[in-house]
Structures are given as structure tokens and as C-alpha cells.
Amino acid sequence: MKHESGSMRNGSSGARGAGRLGALADEESLPNGNEFYINRELSQLEFFGRVLQQAVDPAIPLLERLRALCTFSSNLDEFYEIRVAGLKEQCALQAPVVGPDGLTPQVVYAAVNQRVRELVDQQYRLFNDVLIPAMAEQQICFLRRPSWNAEQKAWIREFFFAELMPVLTPIGLDPAHPFPRILNKSLNFAVELEGKDAFGRNSGNAIVQAPRALPRVIALPADVSGCEHGFVFLSSILHAHVGELFSGMSVRGCYQFRVTRNSELFVDEEEVKNLREALQGELPHRHLGDAVRLEVADNCTLAMTTFLQQQFGLAPGEVFSVNGPVNLVRLMQVPDQVNRPELKYMPFRPGLPKSLQEQSDVFRAMRDGDILLHHPFQSFAPVVDFVRQAAKDPDVVAISQTVYRAGHDSVLLSALIEAARNGKEVTAVVELLARFDEEANIGWAGQLEAVGAHVVYGVVGFKAHAKMVMVLRREGGKLRRYVHLGTGNYHHETSRTYTDFGLLTCDESLTQDVAQVFSQLTGRGQTQRMTHIWQSPFTLKKQLLAAIRCEAEHARAGRKGRIIAKMNALLEPELIQALYDASREGVRIDLVVRGACALRPGVAGLSEHIAVKSVMGRFLEHARVFYFHDGGAEKVMLSSGEWMERSLSRRIEICFPILDPRLKERVVSEGLKPYLSDRRDSWVMTPGGNYQRQLVHDGEAAQNILLSTLT
């Protein structure tokens, strides 16, 4: 899971954490060329720092802290693969690109590498000095080579010869064996050799690539490890026995390294005739894009580091020396191998809305009234049941669904395939350019086409990111639409860890809007006015601006102006300017922004009525919820997209209202109020763009979003 949220709860660590871990001191404002906007990349890095705080917090279960450490690495990997790779390209082109923040790519690139270096150093100190000792106290041990006893050495040696050596292919470097193509994020070893080989060649250097199929941490039997859960790093095993790969030669040094490459796919959508075929041809090259970062173990010699740096065409500032495994992401498997429930979050069992507890027929329950689902507190099962029942129902004529991120094992798409086999008209709008899910989506597209479903790939130049399912059912001689709309992906696994809202409805006017969106995606025609839905790239931005300005007008007239918005990112300049203008008029604005935020809150004369916080709890805060007081009418909207330029101009997103007053109150009371009152998992943004831990005052009970939402 990407961008997992984290927290550091109140304790001895203080308001800003341990030193500078994840939060800059308030006086150290982020480098910026425009006083009104914060740079996206630098703001994103501060979010990663907050993720890292989860690994610091002793109030979080120990193995969950390890997960957070790994998640930080995963976030950083994708950041380099996409965002930093793009920055580097801009720098190479020397393009005079200046964003709303006023900074050049060169300035941002330098600041990013400096901040990343600080965060990574802190990460490894935390891993080595805090987490490993804490896990050892709990009989979870990572056995290092100097501490291996005779029995452990024997077991590890046997493992090397049985499992590792047969799949290793050492590559000696010489004119006949040039430096190999190193795959993106793979584990490799640079080996310095001495002596002559069987052909009389001087040894020089060699490269050993670790098999990607093997785990990076190996579990030892308890009677061998001497603790309940003993692990040894694959890199340690190879280090200990690398000499076996070079018989008769002397190994002078063996050093881990890992390269991160540009992973953005390039497909000229205007030129290709078949997007799916073009992507299938492009995907194999993702692992071999231009290098953007090199990680080496801190025992690597200067000569070898320089050699590797030159091989990848990187500058010295793009090389990171780390005190430990170069790929901490792969430690994510450890918590799953350790059967210690008390060191993990308590198992969580989602509930069901009352209407579905009393009625298993989803269609009948929807006819009785709209159904609001709040994941993960409420189960994703009703969404699955909705499609499964539609697939089997003889009265269902057609099913349409958007597919963005569904995963390789999707129960929903399996239900769509069953529906097509049962003779339903099935239409799947599959977004092939869903980053890092392209391969899975290509696979589903093929399976759906094989059973006769209609598969379309959206609109060229606009990612189909809206989350919609529409079922057409014949009732009483007429066709009736049933719809599910959501803020999150149709992915049954992430629905257990991401907070999202979903709406099941058969409201005639709202479902008519959804039918129009599907018609735009699958056919041709001009846009038509919709009753309820705000849709990008056509009306969403305009409607948001109008709603913000309406609150400003109310405030200017002496009436109440109020905006509350929860989202994952806030970067769109026009919306930010509109919020500034509304603040000047006296509108009270609360923004809960999990990740990057370009707006500066609390600036006198500009944004003194705006507060921004980032909530980092057990679950990844993913729901997009927008509240406008609207003169007392209280407009409550749910959305699939962020307040970002790409979401508003280059994607197909929907923003839909909650019409039922009872459900509207639920969204506010569950999806907004707990976050505003939270004083346990919140980080408050300062005018300088930094974040301070929001402390719980003496005698004041800490809010817990999970508990407050459930009660």
C-alpha cells in the first residue's frame, strides 16, 4: 500500500518529535520563492516525515512501527521514480519552468536531495538504534554476521548452497562482460576480487544480482536462532559466502547497492492506434529507465562508490550511503511472519449499515433509501454484494463500472466477468494508465473482453479516475438505475485500511447524472447540464470556486461563512487564491489535508481564518469530503478527486452530493468533526509550511478518530 499514514502520539518526544524527525522547527520555513504558495515536492517530503513519525511513537504497536518505517521507504521510492525523475528531466533541459511557488527546478531539486538525506539518515538511526533493540527485547531478532554461533553458521551455509547459490549468476566485468543492466530497485552486490581466474584473466570487479523471487529476510528455526523469531538478512548470507561464487580467488570487498530509475511510462496517446498494445510494449522498459538515485551500504569504498556512480551516470549528490539494508521496503514481510498479536494493531471487524443487517437484498434496501458506507469502519462487502447480485439477477439488463485500481485478485471484476457470462451487457471503463497498476488492468481488460464484455479505455488525455458502478434493472415494465459512487478505489483489500465513503442510491436524478458520465466515457457527444454531479474536467473546478465565493459573499454580507474540506492534496492555485479571498472576508475555513498542501494558513491579512492540519492515524485518510454552509442549506459533497490541477483539468472525476439529510449529518459527524476535534493524531501546519504535533493539554482527553467514529 502506497502513502500509508502514521503518527506520533503525545509523550516524551515532545511537539516536534525526536530532534528534526519528520517536522521542521517553526522558524525553519521551507525554501520558497513565493510567499503565497508552498512547493509541492517539499510539502510532500514533510508528509513523508510525518509517516516516519509513526515508527517513532512508542504508543503504536512495535510491529506496526516497523511497517511505518517500510512504508516511508516505499513512499520515497515512488517519489524518486516519478516526481524526482521529472525534476531531473526539467533540470537537464534547462527549461525555465517556474511553478506557483516561484522556485526553479534546480532550486527544488537541490532542496529535495538535502531534505531526503536528512530523513534517510534519521530513518536508519531509528531502525538500528531503536527498532532492532526493541524487537530483540520481544524475541524478534535480526542476526548479524559477527554474532552468528557455530550452529547458526552451519544452518546459514546449508541454506546458501541449497537455496541461494543455484540461482545466482555472478558477472565478472571485462570487455566481454560489460556492466549489466540493473533493474529498478533490485538488490545487487559489487564485489572486488583479487587473483586470476581459470582463463588467466585478472579478476577486477564483479556484479552479483540477488534473485528477486527470494525474500530479503530469512526466518531461522527457533532452536537455531535462539529466540522466538529469528531472521537473517539475505544480504548477510551472500556477504558471508560470496567467495564460493569465485573459486580460487580472493574477495577484497562486497558491497550492497540499489538503483532507483525513472518509472514514468511514455505513451503518445495522440499517435498510438491501440493504447493497450502500446502500453504492453512500454511496460517491460519501466525497470530500465534512466537512473535517478543510487543507494550503497556505508561500508562501500570510495573507489567502488565512484565506479557505480559513473556506471549509472549520476552526480555525487544523487548517491546515498546508508547504515543497513539498502531496501528496507522488503522488511514489510516480517510482521506477517511473526505471530505476536499484541505487537500489532488489534483485529478490526467492520460493521454493516442497519438497513443491510435487516435486508440481504441490496436492491430492495436501496429502494427503501440511500445507503452510506464508511470504510473501513463499515464493510466493503455490500459493494461486492451489489455487483454479485446484479450478475445473477435475471431482471438485471446491464452493468457498467469504472476500473482504476482493482488489484490482481479483484472480487468485483470477477463478478463482472460472471455477469457477462450470464448474458448481461457489461461495460468496463478500464484506465490503463493507472500508475503501477497498468499490468493488472491490462490483464482484467483481456479477461473481460474474452467473455464478451465491452471494454473501453476512457478518453485520450484524461485519466478516468471517477469511482462508479451503475446497474440497469427491469422493474414493472420499466428500467431503473441503481448506482454506487465512491471516494476510493474498487479494491477490497485497501478498503480495509483506507478511510473512504461510498453511496448506494437509486435516486432518479442522481443516477441520470451518472448515466451521462458513462455515456461520455464510452461514446461521443457534447456535455450536458447535470442536476447534481460536479464533473472534471468540465464543471468541478467552476463549481468549487463558485461554492467558495458564495461563502465569501455570505461573510461579506454579515452572514455566516463556513468551509470544511478534507482531502489528500491541496495544490490548485485558483482554489487556493479563492480560499485566501474568502478568509479575508472572514470565512472560517478548516482544511484537513493528509499530504501535500501549497496553501499557507494563519498569515495575517491573507489566511488568518484558515487552519490546516494533517491527521495521521491507524488508517490511511483517503476520503474527500467538502462542506459548505451555503446560507444554512449545508452542502455536503463527496469526491473522487483532489484539489489539484491534474484532478480538475486532466482527469475525469466526479463530486456528488449527499441528499438525504440523515446521511448528510452522518458524513459531517463521522467524516469531518472527529478530525477537527482530534488532539491525538493531528499535525498542525504553520505559516512557514512546517507541521507541529498538536499536543493534548493536561486534563484534556485525547480524541481517537477510530473510536469516535464507531460510537
**H/E segment holding residue 420:** helix 411-421
The per-residue DSSP string of 338-385 comes to ---GGGSPPP---B--HHHHS---HHHHHHTS-EEEEETTB-SHHHHH
Q: What is the mean pLDDT of residues 254-276?
A: 71
376 and 446 fall within a common domain: yes
| pLDDT for 284 beyond 90 | no
Identity of the amino acid at 655? C
Over residues 526-557, the pLDDT tens digits come to 778 899 999 999 999 999 999 999 999 999 99
Over residues 397-424, the pLDDT tens digits come to 999 999 988 888 889 999 999 999 999 9
Which ranges in 422-557 belong to alpha helices (H)?
438-450, 508-522, 540-556
Determine the Cα angle at 189 with ends 187 and 193, to 5°. 170
Which ranges in 2-104 belong to alpha helices (H)?
40-56, 62-78, 85-93
Q: Is residue 465 part of a domain?
A: yes
* Residue-level pLDDT at 129: 97
Which of 481, 500, 532 terminates a domain? The answer is: 532
242 and 385 fall within a common domain: no
281 and 394 fall within a common domain: no
Q: Is residue 581 part of a domain?
A: no
373 and 321 fall within a common domain: no
Which of 515, 532, 549 terminates a domain? The answer is: 532
Please list, in sequence order, all residues whose beta carbon lies within 8 angstroms of the beta carbon of residue 244, skipping any fewer than 6 positions away: 160, 161, 165
Mean pLDDT of the chain: 88
Q: What is the mean pLDDT of residues 200-212?
A: 80
| pLDDT for 16 beyond 80 | no
Q: Is residue 164 part of a domain?
A: yes
Which pLDDT band holds residue 711 (cuts at 50, 70, 90)?
very low
Over residues 583-595, the pLDDT tens digits come to 999 999 999 999 9
Q: Which of 4-8, 340-344, 687-691 has the lowest mean pLDDT?
A: 4-8
Q: Is residue 642 part of a domain?
A: no
| CATH number of residue 425's parent domain | 3.30.870.10
Q: Is residue 209 part of a domain?
A: yes
Q: Is residue 671 part of a domain?
A: no
318 and 395 fall within a common domain: no
Cα separations (Å) of 657 from 115, 259, 501, 554?
A: 40, 46, 12, 21
Tell me: is residue 498 an annotated ligand-binding position: yes
| pLDDT for 427 beyond 90 | yes
Residues 411, 462: Cα–Cα separation, whole Å: 26
Helices and strands: H and E segment counts in the chain? 23, 27
Sign of CA dihedral 268, 274, 275, 278: negative
| pLDDT for 477 beyond 70 | yes
* Residue-level pLDDT at 96: 72
| pLDDT for 698 beyond 50 | no
* Residue-level pLDDT at 276: 54
* Residue-level pLDDT at 202: 61
* Residue-level pLDDT at 231: 97
Tell me: is residue 367 an annotated ligand-binding position: no
Share of the chain above pLDDT 70, in %: 87
Q: What is the mean pLDDT of residues 554-563?
A: 98
- Beta carbons of 62 and 68 less than 8 angstroms apart: no
168 and 296 fall within a common domain: yes
462 and 319 fall within a common domain: no
Over residues 594-637, the pLDDT tens digits come to 999 999 999 999 999 999 999 998 999 999 999 999 999 999 99
Q: What is the mean pLDDT of residues 39-63?
A: 95
Q: Is residue 86 part of a domain?
A: no
| CATH number of residue 218's parent domain | 3.30.1840.10
Which of 532, 548, 563 terminates a domain? The answer is: 532
Has 554 been annotated as catalytic? Answer: no
Other C-beta atoms lying within 10 Å of the C-beta of residue 266: 9
187 and 271 fall within a common domain: yes
Look at residues 654, 656, 271 and name the one whose alpha carbon lies nearest to residue 461. 271
292 and 364 fall within a common domain: no
Q: What is the pTM of this model?
A: 0.89
* Residue-level pLDDT at 13: 33
- Beta carbons of 120 and 320 less than 8 angstroms apart: yes
Q: Is residue 181 part of a domain?
A: yes
Tell me: is residue 405 an annotated ligand-binding position: yes
Q: How many domains does the chain have?
A: 2
Q: Which listed residue (239, 374, 465, 491) is catalytic?
A: 465
* Residue-level pLDDT at 266: 56
The whole domain housing 204 covers 140-328
Cα separations (Å) of 537 from 175, 336, 540?
A: 54, 42, 7
Q: What is the mean pLDDT of residues 170-181?
A: 78
Residues 217, 335: Cα–Cα separation, whole Å: 12
| pLDDT for 267 beyond 80 | no
Q: What letter does residue 174 receive in the DSSP assignment?
A: B
Q: Is 477 left (phi over 0), alpha (psi -120 to 50) or beta?
A: left
Most confident of 85-89, 519-523, 643-647: 643-647
In the block, residue with C-alpha cell 512504508: 71
Other C-beta atoms lying within 10 Å of the C-beta of residue 166: 9
Q: What is the mean pLDDT of residues 461-474?
A: 93
319 and 204 fall within a common domain: yes
302 and 153 fall within a common domain: yes
266 and 400 fall within a common domain: no
Q: What is the mean pLDDT of residues 329-352?
A: 93
